[in-house]
Amino acid sequence: MYRYLEPAAWQGDGMSPVNLLVAALVVVASIIAIAETEAILASRYAEQFFMTELALFCIFLIEYCLRVYAAGEDPRYKGVTGRIRYIFSFWALIDLLALLPFIFYAGDHSGFFLRFLKVLRLLRIARLGRFSQAWDAFVHALGDRRYELMLSVMLALLMLIISSSMLYAVEAPYQPEAFGSIPRAFWWSVATLTTVGYGDVTPITAIGKLFAGMTAIAGIGLIAMPTGIMAAAFSDAFQVAKEKADEKRRLAESNNISE
């Protein structure tokens, strides 16, 4: 049973059938949690939603108990104290947290707290992290360039402050609501530097437009920099992977020759 539940203990390819089912149920549960926030759907299918939620809660509860029980086969979590230690391990806590919202949900709440609970139920998605061993190469490639990426974030912050200050200095008296202070100008500045450009706030003075144009052009640099760094990082990572594969092949070939 332990082999079926613990991703690292599974000897076959990919995930064990049990974990595959759990992952699929987590996806289903997440979709339901998202759909249920829509009042039209929530009121029309109230009963169906509740029954599915209840069923998923029971399945996840049983799965959680089995996981705690099966953890005993791992030498680290042997015995009762070992299992208590397992309960406080990272992924077990995530599993528990993902169970909790249903209990609260059974009660009667309203306003922000209710919405917060509904969003909390999306913590279920985090459970998928348990099954994913794929991000490693990705994270590694970016991690190697975290210094350069951090520098470009700092540069972005500097651009944000400079452009907000300029627009504040120029536009404040004409649009006090949007440019009345530097923090207020941040909203416009972020939208421009990221080239999102909502258009709900735009400068109206000629000099403000000049600064805004310069900000938009600086925004291209802001996008180009992390893109360039990432491209170089991925290119590097791919080449290292290829060289490793080449070396492996060459090693295998020289072994064949010497035999």
Give residues 4-63 in contact with a copy of itself (rule: CB under 8 A). 30, 34-35, 37-39
The residue from 195, 245, 248, 253 that contacts a copy of itself (CB under 8 A) is: 195
| Min separation Cβ 4 and a copy of itself, Å | 25
**Residue among 56, 76, 84, 64 nearest 9 (CA):** 76
Instruction: Kindly state the DSSP code that residue 62 receives in the 8-state scheme.
Output: H
CB atoms within 10 A of CB 235: 11
| Min separation Cβ 175 and a copy of itself, Å | 13
Residues 125-144 that bind a copy of itself (CB under 8 A): 125, 134-135, 138
x-or-dash pattern for a copy of itself, window 77-116, by CB under 8 A? ----------------------------------xx--xx
> Which residue has 């500097």 as its token pair?
158
> What are phi and psi for residue 88, nearest 5 degrees?
-90, 5
Q: Which is nearer to a copy of itself, 86 or 168 (CB)?
A: 168
CA distances 195 to 7, 210, 214, Å, are: 42, 16, 12
Residues 145-174 that bind a copy of itself (CB under 8 A): 145, 147-148, 151, 156, 158, 161-162, 165-166, 168-169, 172-173
Q: Which is nearer to a copy of itself, 25 or 216 (CB)?
A: 216
> What are phi and psi for residue 35, nearest 5 degrees?
-65, -35
Is 194 an interacting residue with respect to a copy of itself (CB under 8 A)? yes
The residue from 196, 207, 245, 251 that contacts a copy of itself (CB under 8 A) is: 196
CA 211 to chain centroid, in Å, comes to 35
Q: Which is nearer to a copy of itself, 50 or 135 (CB)?
A: 135
Q: Which is nearer to a copy of itself, 73 or 165 (CB)?
A: 165
| Min separation Cβ 29 and a copy of itself, Å | 13
x-or-dash pattern for a copy of itself, window 208-227, by CB under 8 A? -x--xx--xx-xxxxxxxxx
With b meaning 16 or more CB within 10 Å and e meaning fewer, what string describes 181-213? ebebbbebbbbbbeeeeeeebbbeeeebeebbe
> Which residue has 């929530």 as its token pair?
42
Q: Which is nearer to a copy of itself, 97 or 182 (CB)?
A: 182
Q: Would you call 79 exposed, middle or buried from its count of C-beta atoms within 10 A (0-12, 13-18, 19+)?
A: exposed
